[in-house]
């Protein structure tokens, strides 16, 4: 039976990226050695990281003056690296979910933090609007997609101060105007590769603005100077990122991928909105194209476990909602085929016919 992988992360990857990574683990490019055992300073791996950086820059049309880094520690380490490098006295944060809250918490170790707006009042089911960004802050931090609650910022906002974005779960899902951001970061394990590597896109002129001493490993300038090789980088995830980016390019780039993601999202949201049994949890204007969250309507709440078992029997993997929201979550990342969305919708329809 075919499996349909809706896991929120680590998540589905392009099959070609998985296959090519598996081949490289056995023998990288016919050199007679595994990707796992060559020196990270060899010309063979330097070619891998150079191509990954070049593809990042090409697909996102990254302007001059920016650097692409591949680091360890996950996006969670960036929660402190960002303020360590960018905050002098004050920063502003948009609170839209668990990960935004965690980033905000870390920033408070480095100075004053202004929460410009929060959607906590409605369990983070919407993206706040109409807030004012304080122009005396050193930067404004946003989390563009909220995996747990299924909300997303779909446009690149205009910001009067340096804009920082955690794009862990929607990077490479649409074109991005990188010039509007001072720094973009994220864990790779949603749309890019396996867990274990973090990407950072940083505009060099925002660094080194004040005298705070920064530990060597936590200073972005260290990793820029050394080309992400100050210490041994996570070689296998970087290779898989390269292969995933090649796959994205082969599809026609981010504009084409965005069309595919919109089509998948519209299919599933339409099915939810027209269902007698299911209902979406995120405000319609804030709905994510990466993580589609829904629950049973009140009169059918007692059937949630039954639907989970029914869906599992149809090959649906990873659709259980986060414990803080409940219900169901279908993560429709780039590599998820439209056929999997259609299979989930058919599964929902069939369960509804039998139980509603």
**Catalytic member of 43, 44, 57, 99:** 99
Q: Which segments of the chain belong to CATH 3.40.640.10? A: 15-251
166 is catalytic: yes
pLDDT given for residue 356 in this prediction: 82
CA–CA separation, 132 and 94 (whole Å)? 11
List, for residues 20-37, the tens digit of each pLDDT value: 999 999 999 999 999 999
Q: Average per-residue pLDDT in the chain? A: 97
Q: Which segments of the chain belong to CATH 3.90.1150.10? A: 253-355
CATH T-level topology, domain 15-251: 3.40.640
Residues 6+ apart with CB under 8 A from 50: none
99 is catalytic: yes
- Indicate whether 47 pLDDT > 90: yes
SS3 69: strand
CA–CA separation, 87 and 94 (whole Å)? 16
Residues 6+ apart with CB under 8 A from 65: 203, 204, 205
Q: How confident is the model at residue 327 (pLDDT cuts 50, 70, 90)?
A: very high
Q: DSSP letter string over 4-16?
A: EE--SSS----HH
Q: How confident is the model at residue 2 (pLDDT cuts 50, 70, 90)?
A: confident
pTM of the complete model: 0.98
CB 139 within 8 A of CB 159: no
CB 331 within 8 A of CB 8: yes
Average confidence (pLDDT) over 45-50 = 98
**Catalytic member of 138, 170, 190, 247:** 190
Environment class of 251 (CB within 10 Å of its CB; exposed 0-12, middle 13-18, buried 19+): middle
**Catalytic member of 138, 166, 170, 219:** 166
List, for residues 186-230, the tens digit of each pLDDT value: 999 999 999 999 999 999 999 999 989 999 999 999 999 999 999
The CATH classification of domain 253-355, taken from the options 2.40.240.10, 3.20.20.30, 3.90.1150.10, 3.30.230.70:
3.90.1150.10
């Amino acid at each position: 039976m075919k499996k349909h992988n809706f896991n929120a992360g680590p998540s589905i990857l392009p099959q070609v990226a998985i296959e090519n990574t598996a081949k490289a683990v056995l023998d990288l490019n016919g050199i007679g050695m595994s990707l796992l055992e060559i020196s990270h300073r060899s010309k063979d791996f330097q070619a891998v990281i150079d191509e990954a950086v070049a593809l990042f820059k090409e697909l996102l049309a990254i302007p001059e003056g920016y650097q692409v880094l591949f680091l360890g520690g996950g996006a969670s380490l960036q929660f402190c690296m960002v303020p360590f490098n960018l905050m002098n006295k004050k920063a502003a944060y948009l609170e839209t979910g668990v990960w935004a809250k965690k980033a905000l918490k870390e920033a408070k170790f480095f100075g004053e933090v202004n929460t410009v707006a929060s959607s906590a009042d409605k369990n983070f089911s919407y993206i706040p609007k109409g807030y004012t960004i304080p122009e005396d802050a050193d930067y404004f931090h946003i989390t563009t997609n909220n995996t747990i609650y299924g909300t997303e910022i779909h446009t690149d906002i205009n910001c009067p101060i340096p804009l920082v974005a955690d794009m862990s779960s929607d990077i490479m899902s649409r074109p991005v105007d990188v010039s509007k951001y001072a720094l973009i970061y994220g864990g790779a394990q949603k749309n890019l590769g396996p867990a274990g590597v973090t990407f950072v896109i940083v505009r060099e002129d925002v660094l080194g603005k004040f005298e705070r001493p920064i530990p060597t490993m936590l200073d972005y300038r260290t990793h820029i100077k050394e080309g992400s090789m100050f210490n041994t980088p996570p070689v296998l995830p970087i290779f898989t990122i390269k292969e995933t980016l090649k796959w994205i390019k082969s599809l026609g780039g981010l504009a084409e991928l965005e069309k595919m993601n919109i089509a998948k999202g519209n299919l599933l949201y339409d099915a939810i909105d027209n269902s007698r049994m299911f209902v979406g949890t995120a405000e319609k204007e804030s709905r994510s194209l990466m993580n589609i969250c829904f629950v049973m309507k009140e009169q059918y709440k007692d059937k949630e476990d039954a639907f989970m078992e029914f869906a599992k029997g149809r090959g649906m993997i990873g659709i259980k909602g986060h414990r803080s929201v409940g219900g169901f979550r279908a993560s429709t990342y780039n590599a998820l085929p439209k056929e999997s969305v259609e299979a989930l919708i058919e599964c929902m329809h069939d369960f509804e016919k039998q139980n509603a």
